[in-house]
Amino acid sequence: MISSSIAVREVAWDDPEAAVLRAAQRAEIEALYGPDSEPGVAPSAADIALFLIAYAEGRPVGCGGLRSLEPGAAEVKRMYVVPEWRGRGVSGAVLTALETAAAVRGWTTLRLETGPKQAAAIRFYERSGYARIACFGAYADDPGSYCYQREL
């Protein structure tokens, strides 16, 4: 069942609801890949240009952000949906909002990194038009990183 009442809003990086969602995302990633498993530089308020939260039934159920990479390109960071809301359109709503925000800011290319143990994420990104690319930046030499890109 897809919910028709998902609202996506921009929030500050340090918003308390954003912090809770990001902590849940990191816990899930560490359960899959182990502690200290973040490849590259962790995102922060200093480098995230935009952070969004998806709300359903009045509560935060998903999130995602954008980090500038280079002129014309940004990286999707901290995409996450709480388990009980998966499969109901939250990730699509967040990604669409991120893509729209990227285009408004003049970014024409979006990239992201995920890993081999995240099959659902891989399927989602591929269905959403993202194509596998050679890994970029800090992920370039990480065999556990799968990188994707989409031209907007």
CB atoms closer than 10 angstroms to residue 6: 20
Q: Specify the pLDDT at position 3.
A: 54
Q: Specify the pLDDT at position 40.
A: 82
Walking along the chain (152 residues) 10 residues at a time, the average pLDDT comes out as 80 98 97 90 95 97 98 98 97 98 98 97 98 96 95 98
Locate all alpha helices (DSSP H) within the chain, ordered by sequence. Answer: 16-33, 90-104, 119-127
Instruction: Find the radius of gyration of the CA atoms of the chain.
Output: 14
Q: Specify the pLDDT at position 56.
A: 97
Domains and CATH numbers, the chain: 6-111 (3.40.630.30)
CB 67 within 8 A of CB 48: yes
pTM above 0.75, yes or no: yes
Q: Specify the pLDDT at position 4.
A: 64
